[in-house]
Amino acid sequence: MHQKNCVEILQDLIRFDTQNPPGNEVALVNYIHEYCEALHIQNDVYLYEGQRANIIIRIGRSTPENLVVLGHTDVVRAKAEDWKFDPFAAHISEGYLYGRGALDMKYFIAAAMVVMRSLKAQEATLKRGIVFVFTADEETGSAFGLSRLLTEKGIAGELSHKVVLNEGGGFAVFHQNTCHYLFETGQKSVCRLRLTIPEEPDSNPYFHTTTHEATLVRALDRLEKLVIDDEIPRTSRLLSNAFTDDPADTSHAMDAKLRNLIDTMSQSMITPTIIHGGARNPNLLAHIRATIDLDCRLLPAITKEQFVHKVETALEGLPIQVQVLSFSQGYEADIERKFIKLLELTLQKHDPAIKGLLPFITPGSNDGKYLKPLGCEILGFAPLHKDETFTTIMPLIHGLDERISLKSIAFCEQVLHDVCVEYLTGDAYLG
């Protein structure tokens, strides 16, 4: 019987429309379940609300050092008429496979499925086991995915205190003719604020002024100048130091896109998202003259209380109310150096031109945040070929004409295979 290769499996996965909302991951999870059953690989499916499916797959025996591979099967929405090719046809053109989820993150699941075949064939030789966790609903908060899955009997205990390979990193950057790979070891805190400017007393609706809008502008100006970070996490310092330009060497000045990427990873940032103002704005409640919603991505060293205090202090004297709409605490992981060395050596085995790995704290958010409280070491490491650099793929993730090169699919499969085999069978890089 023909065994599908990684590209063919990825095409199959993309052809399952798992746009979230509504999700409907059940058909895709049934595909993975049947794949595992054919290989006699132990697996359990967890179904919520009829169509929100999760699957846990186990190979090898249970040990405290088991490896966890985490992925999600849902994707963000795609407007088919805007795409070059149907986002769910998995079309291949000029060395690229197009489709929603090609980069986020069905390629990693496809690679993991191929790796499963190899690991199952050598299961008797494995010194420790591996658990693959493929979940629903990551794109909209994981209420039907990992967050809920961890409430099932025994799951949190099984996954606690493990090394976890997740999405979010394993991408190349070039600076001064040198190739580094970045891997995620933490997430920024995400705080959503609303600033409200109430109508001033004695305002006359027949004599409009721009007083309230001027207050809004002054508030934004103060927040733009606000110094948020009193303490810079070690990860951010390492990353910034590695990409510091030499002022005397203008021939190797950093590319603007890379500079923006590094700054975004290394600093806390406040971004206005929705602004309402004007005397006749129907989106404003009575006696409210302006509001602004802010998306705040904060390095994890600062707490919610510290940040809100900084904002309120910066806006002192302005007639503004500050409301916290939501807050999700970020984290910075301290990863075992021996495991990082394993990833580094495996990358260099497949491409000796790669100098090494550098950690970063992602401005985004993913399911790793649910495993961090369980004592897990979570690494965003789903490697792509160096020709698809970090700055190249960023606009494509959640973007138009999302695509991945066939070279990257093969590279991810090979690197993931070698990392898993070495970790599960060897001792050289284990503490």
Please tell me whether residues 215 and 310 are part of one structural domain.
Answer: yes
The CATH number that applies at residue 380 is: 3.40.630.10
CA angle 428, 429, 431 (to 5 degrees): 105
| 166 and 274 belong to one structural domain | no
Q: Concatenate the DSSP letters of all residues of 289-356 into one string.
A: EEEEEEEEEE-TTS-HHHHHHHHHHHTTTS--EEEEEEEE--EE----HHHHHHHHHHHHHH-TTEEE
Structural domains in the chain (count):
2
Query: Of the residues 328, 361, 376, which one is the last residue of a structural domain?
Result: 328
Residue with tokens 């004409």: 401
Asked, for residue 341, whether it belongs to a domain, the answer is yes
Q: Flag whether 250 is in a domain.
A: no
Strand partners, 197: 290
- Domain at 316, CATH number: 3.30.70.360
Which helix (H) or strand (E) covers residue 69, if one does? strand 67-72
* Interatomic CA distance for residues 174 and 255, integer angstroms: 9
Same-domain status, 363 and 395:
yes
CA distance 107 to 413: 9
Q: Is 192 helix (H, G, I), strand (E, B) or coil?
A: strand
- Rounded to the nearest 10°, the torsion over CA 6, 11, 17, 18 is 20
Tokens of 369: 């945040």
Q: Are residues 415 and 306 in the same domain?
A: no
Each of the 431 residues of the chain gets a pLDDT tens digit; together they read 579 999 999 999 999 999 999 999 999 999 999 999 999 999 999 999 999 999 999 999 999 999 999 999 999 999 999 999 999 999 999 999 999 999 999 999 999 999 999 999 999 999 999 999 999 999 999 999 999 999 999 999 999 999 999 999 999 999 988 999 999 999 999 999 999 999 876 665 555 667 888 898 999 999 999 999 998 999 999 998 998 766 555 556 788 999 999 999 999 999 999 999 877 788 888 888 889 999 999 999 999 999 999 999 999 999 999 999 999 999 998 888 899 999 999 999 999 999 999 999 999 999 999 999 999 999 999 999 999 999 999 999 999 999 999 999 999 999 999 999 999 998 754 44
Backbone phi, then psi, for 360, in 5-degree steps? -150, 160
Per 3-state DSSP, the chain is made up of helix, strand and coil in percentages (nearest 5) of 35, 25, 40
Q: Is 353 among the domain residues?
A: yes
Amino acid 238 reads L
Residue 255 placed within a domain: no
- Final residue of a structural domain among 328, 349, 366: 328
**127 inside domain:** yes
